[in-house]
DNA sequence: ATAATATCAGTAGTATAGTACGGAGTCAAG
DNA sequence: CTTGACTCCGTACTATACTACTGATATTAT
């Protein structure tokens, strides 16, 4: 079985050595085995776990949620449905964020379109006016 | 002219007193006038500034960006175009975030649809399999 | 007048996800 | 056998946006 030093596995995954130590600290990665020199050494399982973390992060899961996923994975009582619930929850969450951002986007577009004035002073800027409008 | 104590203005805006002191610390709000008792007191201008901040935050601007907006606003040399550029930059930023989230959403939907198994153990969970798939 | 509430200043803590630093020990190449 | 690269650990710092706490004044209500 292949094994890697901390710098090697970090490079393979494309993360920082410090980040790996951080993952160990927050217990999303288990304490790795050590050589006599006290150097950490990692195996294929660690590699897979790190890649799982990376992929799940790309899916918008937080480290805390990824930890949950990984824990469910090793709990023998956990079902695939448990995982599905986490995924569904995350989906709702992301849909919510998309909705919010779209609203923001529309307001910004309206604001920007009202502005045709490179030379006008900020005194008469329609963007600022609109941001303030809701205030008056 | 109306004036408010820190707790009054905080309640009016719907923020925390501590948050107001924080805004003062990071210089997004100016140092307010004081009574003899050293109590802060705020006026209508402060109220408007706070509401501007609140509204801009809703538009997805960070406090740092809002500070920029407010600074441009008082710089007499700044043009409406300067404001527009900030708004456009924010728009690009938000469109980017929407795109990313949509990708994530699609992957999550695919994952969830593959899972029809409330009772299956996490060993055979297709969601976990897919997250891992890109690894193998 | 006294009790309750508000405010003061400064510091520390929260959450998220890391990054940086420094001095000591270890490993590999020339 | 020395030099440079790598790793060790612990701590502190970054960024963002707040929130909490403490002990001392100040104001307000009864």
With a cut of 50, say whether residue A103 has pLDDT above it: yes
For residue B45, CA distances in Å to A47, A130, B7 come to: 57, 17, 16
Burial B2-30 (b: 16+ CB within 10 A, else e): ebbebeebbeebebeeeebeebeeeebbe
Distance CA B20, CA B12 (A): 12
List residues bridging with A40 in a β-sheet. A34
Contact (CB<8Å) A122/B72: yes
pLDDT at A115: 75
Residue B118, pLDDT score = 65
- Rounded distance between C-alpha atoms, residue B13 and residue B40, angstroms: 16
Three-point CA angle B129, B135, B136, nearest 5°: 85
Confidence at residue A50, expressed as pLDDT on a 0 to 100 scale: 96
The distance of A35 to chain B (nearest Cα, Å) reads 27
Structure ipTM over 0.90, yes or no: no
Pairwise CB contact (< 8 Å): A115 & B72: no
Distances (CA, A) of A121 to A116, B68, B73, B79, B87: 12, 16, 9, 4, 16
Q: What is the pLDDT of residues B40-67, one digit of tens each?
A: 999 999 999 999 999 889 888 899 999 9
* A39: three-class secondary structure by DSSP: coil
Q: What are phi and psi of B72, to 5 degrees?
A: -60, -40
* E strand or H helix that includes residue B4: strand B3-5
Q: Say whether A60 and B84 touch across the interface (CB within 8 A).
A: no
Closest CA to B84 of A101, A103, A122: A122
Task: Quote the minimal CA–CA distance from A11 to chain B in Å.
Answer: 15
pLDDT tier, A136 (very low <50, low <70, confident <90, very high otherwise): very low
State the Cα–Cα distance between residues B132 and B136, nearest whole angstrom: 7
Q: What is the mean pLDDT of chain A?
A: 87
Which one-letter DSSP state was computed for residue B30?
Answer: P
Confidence of residue B134 (pLDDT cuts 50, 70, 90): very low
Closest CA relative to residue B56, chosen from B16, B23, B102: B23
Cβ contact B73–A128 (<8 Å): yes
Instruction: Tell me what percent of the residues of chain B surpass a pLDDT of 90.
Output: 48
Does the pLDDT at position A132 exceed 90? Answer: no
Contacts of A87 in chain B (CB under 8 A): 108, 111-112, 115, 127
Q: Would you say residue B73 has pLDDT above 60?
A: yes
Contact residues for strand C with beta carbon within 7 Å: A 15-16, 18-19, 21-22, 35-39, 57, 62-64; B 5-8, 17, 21, 34, 38-40
H or E segment and range at residue B38: none
Instruction: Report the Cα B60 to chain-centroid distance in Å.
Output: 5
End-to-end CA distance of chain B, in Å? 69
Q: Which two tokens stand for residue A66?
A: 């990824």
Which domains are present in chain B?
A: 3-78 (1.10.1660.10)
- Of residues B35 and A133, the one with the higher pLDDT is B35
Report pLDDT digits (tens) over A20-76. Answer: 999 999 999 999 999 999 999 999 999 999 999 999 998 888 999 999 888 887 776
Q: What is the spatial distance, in angstroms and rounded to an integer, between the CA atom of B61 and the C1' atom of C20?
A: 29
Distance from CA of B39 to the nearest CA of A (A): 26
CA distance A97 to A38: 45
Ranked by mean pLDDT, the top range of A12-16, A95-99, B108-112 is A12-16
- Mutate which of A125, A126, A130, A133 to test chain B, going by most B C-beta atoms within 10 A? A125
């Amino acid at each position: 079985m292949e094994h890697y030093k901390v710098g090697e596995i970090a490079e393979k995954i494309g993360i920082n050595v410090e980040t790996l130590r951080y993952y160990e600290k927050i217990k999303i990665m288990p304490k790795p085995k050590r050589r006599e020199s006290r150097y950490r050494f990692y195996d294929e399982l660690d590699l897979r776990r790190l890649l799982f973390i990376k992929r799940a992060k790309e899916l918008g899961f937080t480290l805390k949620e990824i930890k949950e996923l990984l824990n469910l994975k090793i709990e023998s009582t956990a079902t695939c449905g448990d995982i599905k619930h986490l995924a569904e929850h995350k989906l709702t969450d992301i849909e919510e964020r998309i909705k919010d951002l779209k609203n923001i986007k529309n307001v910004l577009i309206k604001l920007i379109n009202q502005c045709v004035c490179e030379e006008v002073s900020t005194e008469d800027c329609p963007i600022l006016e609109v941001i303030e409008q809701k205030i008056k």
